[in-house]
Amino acid sequence: MNKINFLSLIGNAILFIAISYTNATAIPTPTVFNPNANEFKGKVVVAKTFATWCRYCRQKAIRELELRQIPQIGENMQTTDRSINLFLVPADNYEESAQFFDDIGFRAKIQIINPQKLENWGVNNFGAVLIFNDAQLVKMVDGEVDLVIQE
């Protein structure tokens, strides 16, 4: 390889890295879910447990995204001044979850959930839906995938 080809190769590699870096989406700083937070005061919060390793969870998220694109249905699924929809993920799965939602084009609100909180609320499986009103859990529908990963 001559010097000109080598320099061209290095230049292309640097350009590729620069383009890849500028196209990367910044992952928001995670926040821990707290139903007592000011942003939830006076609102109904619909929170869904999620993890990227949970195939059921990924399928539900993709289905929700598809439903949101149907005008008559999507209008009722959006966050409003009276309700907030969000996904609760384990801390060790936050970045992967944020990347998953970004990859499918779903602008989802994601917060970290403490596994002990899930147990306190009676959640045994991922894919669960929790509904809070004024910080009180008023309804919980358990999911279909065990919270504990089986190796």
The H-assigned helical ranges of the chain are 3-23, 55-68, 71-77, 94-104, 115-120
pLDDT (mean) for 84-106? 93
Domain harbouring 43, CATH code: 3.40.30.10
Task: Give the pLDDT score at 93.
Answer: 94
* Cβ neighbours, 10 Å, residue 72: 7
Is 99 among the domain residues? Answer: yes
138 closest CA partner among 45, 49, 48: 45
Number of domains in the chain: 1
Is 51 among the domain residues? Answer: yes
pLDDT (mean) for 115-121? 90
Radius of gyration of the chain, Cα coordinates, nearest whole angstrom: 20
Higher pLDDT, 12 or 134: 134
Tens of pLDDT along 121-146? 988 888 899 999 989 999 998 876 66
Task: Give the pLDDT score at 95.
Answer: 95
Q: Which domain holds residue 45?
A: 27-146
Tens of pLDDT along 16-73? 333 334 445 677 789 999 999 999 999 999 999 999 998 888 998 998 888 877 765 5
Is 128 among the domain residues? Answer: yes
Is 75 among the domain residues? Answer: yes
